[in-house]
Amino acid sequence: MKPSAREITDCHFHPAVDADTDMGWFYRSGDAAAQVAALRRAGIARACGAPVRALAPAGFAPIRAMNDGALRLRDRFPGFYIPGIQIHPRFPDESCAEIARCCGREGVRWVGELVGYMMGFGEEYASPAALAVFREAARHGAAVNLHCDDLAVVESLCTALPALNVVLAHPGAGRREIEPRVALVARLPNLHLDLSGSGIDRLGIVRQAVEQAGAHKILFGSDFPINNPAVYVHGVLFEELPESVLTAVFGGNFQRLTAAAF
C-alpha cells in the first residue's frame, strides 16, 4: 500500500519482538499491538526498523532470530510495520546469506539501525568484511541505517560504495556534533540523515539540515521506544516548513530509498 503524501513514516523504530529486544528505558514497551498503538497515537502511519539487543555473538544464530521476529511482525501488521534486519560484519558470509534471504526472497529494503557498540563490532562499518556485506545490500536495493560516531568511517563507507544509500542515525546533541554531521550529509551524494535520537529539541535543527543538505536528504525517525515519538512529530511540525519539505521528510524520502518495498 503506497502511503499518502502527508502520512508519517518513522524510519527508526526498534520493535520489541521479545524481552531481550525491549529498548524501553523507564517502561516496558508492551506487546506488539501496544507498540503499534503507541506509534499510531503519535500520528505515525508506518514504522520501520530492526530489533536490536546487546550481545557479543559467538555465531550468527541470535541475529537471524531477531530478523525472524521482524518478519513475523511484518506479517502480523501488514501496511504498518516495515521490517529492518540486522547483519554483523564479523560474520560476513552469514550476513550476505541473510541479505539474500531477507532482501532477495522476503522483499526487505532496510538494514538497521545497526548499532555496533551494542552488537560487538564497534564501528567496523568500512572494514573489508563490512564492505562485502554492504555491497550485497546495495545489490538488492536496500538502504543501510547505521549508528556511527566516527564520521571518517562514514565517509569511507559512502565513498567506497557509491551505489549504497546510507542513512546516518541521529543529528547529535550539540552544535559540535550536529554541524559536521549535517555538513557531511550535504557533501556525500549517497548519505542521508534520520532525525531520531538527540537533536530534535534544538530549535531550528530540521530547517538547518534541510537548508544545508537538502530536503531530499532528511528522514523522519523517532527511536521509539527509547524516545517519545510525539515529541519528534511535533518537533518537525513546529518549524513550519513548506508542505513539499514535510512531504519529503515525513515519508517521501523513505519511500524513494525503499521503493521496491512499496
Q: What's the CA gap between 37 and 42, in Å, rounded?
A: 9
Bridge partners, residue 85, by sequence:
111
DSSP label at residue 219: E
In this prediction, residue 4 has a pLDDT band, given cuts at 50, 70 and 90, of very low
Cell numbers at 220, concatenated = 523522519
What is the pTM assigned to this prediction? 0.96
CATH superfamily of the 8-261 domain: Metal-dependent hydrolases (3.20.20.140)
Bridge partners, residue 194, by sequence:
169, 219
Q: What's the CA gap between 223 and 44, in Å, rounded?
A: 13
| 34-55 pLDDT, tens digit each | 999 999 999 999 999 999 999 9
| 106-136 pLDDT, tens digit each | 999 999 999 999 999 999 999 999 999 999 9
The 3-state secondary structure of 17-34, one letter per residue: CCHHHCCCCCCCCCCHHH
Task: Kindly tell me if the per-residue pLDDT of 2 is higher than 80.
Answer: no
In this prediction, residue 3 has a pLDDT band, given cuts at 50, 70 and 90, of very low
Query: H or E element: which one contains 65?
Result: helix 61-76
Pairing of strands 110-115, 143-147: parallel
| 51-105 pLDDT, tens digit each | 999 999 999 999 999 999 999 999 999 999 999 999 999 999 999 999 999 999 9
SS3 helix, strand, coil % of the chain, rounded to 5? 45, 15, 40
Domain locations in the chain?
Answer: 8-261
| 202-258 pLDDT, tens digit each | 999 999 999 999 999 999 999 999 999 999 999 999 999 999 999 999 999 999 999
Q: Which amino acid is at 226?
A: I
Cell numbers at 65, concatenated = 532470530
Query: What's the confidence (pLDDT) of residue 260?
Result: 61
Query: What's the confidence (pLDDT) of residue 261?
Result: 58
Listed range (27-31, 168-172, 184-188) with the worst mean pLDDT:
27-31
**Of the candidates 127, 204, 194, which has an alpha carbon nearest to the alpha carbon of residue 166?**
194
Question: From the centroid of its chain, how far is CA 101?
Answer: 20
Residue 135: CB partners within 8 Å, gap ≥ 6?
161, 164
CA dihedral sign of residues 71, 72, 76, 77: negative
In this prediction, residue 1 has a pLDDT band, given cuts at 50, 70 and 90, of very low
DSSP label at residue 251: I
Query: What's the confidence (pLDDT) of residue 6?
Result: 74
Beta strands in the chain (DSSP E): 8-10, 44-49, 81-83, 110-115, 143-147, 166-169, 191-194, 218-219
**Of the candidates 8, 1, 6, which has an alpha carbon nearest to the alpha carbon of residue 43?**
8
Q: What's the CA gap between 162 and 143, in Å, rounded?
A: 12
Query: What's the confidence (pLDDT) of residue 5?
Result: 54
Query: H or E element: which one contains 220?
Result: none
